[in-house]
């Protein structure tokens, strides 16, 4: 009969967080930028529902600035996820 070698028990490695503190800061910054974009995109209430005010609906803030802020926020989120955490 051949004796089997037993491998040593694996060393217990403490669990580490997937992200570092800086990653979480970047994630929160990205969420904040996206929330600002959504707030800027949200519509205001018209005094008279029978009147269509084109300048309010198609303002530069709503159709240009707000979507750009949301895209910037998403780019920050991608950066935060792929950023390598600094281990100390």
Average pLDDT over residues 27-53: 89
Position 8 in a domain: no
Residue ranges making up the domain that contains 83? 37-42+55-88
Say what the pLDDT of residue 9 is. Answer: 64
pLDDT, averaged across the chain: 86
**Residues 6 or more apart in contact with residue 80 via CB below 8 angstroms:** 19, 23, 24, 26, 27, 29, 30
The per-residue pLDDT for range 15-32, each reduced to its tens digit, is: 777 888 999 999 999 999
3-state SS of the chain is: CCCCCCCCCCCCCCCCCCCCHHHHHHHHHHHHHHHHHHHHHCCCCCCCCCCCCHHHHCCHHHHHHHHHHHHHHHHHHHHHHHCCCCCC
pTM of the model: 0.74
- Residue 61 included in any domain: yes
Number of domains in the chain: 1
Whether pLDDT at 36 is above 80:
yes
Residue 72 lies in a domain: yes
Residue 63 has pLDDT above 80, yes or no: yes
């Amino acid at each position: 009969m051949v004796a089997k070698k037993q491998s040593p028990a694996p060393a217990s490695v403490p669990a580490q967080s997937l992200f570092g503190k800086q990653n979480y800061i970047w994630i929160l910054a990205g969420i904040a930028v996206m929330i600002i974009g959504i707030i800027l995109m949200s519509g205001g209430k018209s005094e008279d529902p029978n009147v269509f005010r084109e300048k309010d609906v198609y303002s530069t803030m709503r159709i240009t600035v707000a979507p750009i802020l949301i895209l910037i926020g998403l780019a920050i989120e991608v950066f935060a996820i792929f950023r390598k955490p600094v281990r100390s």
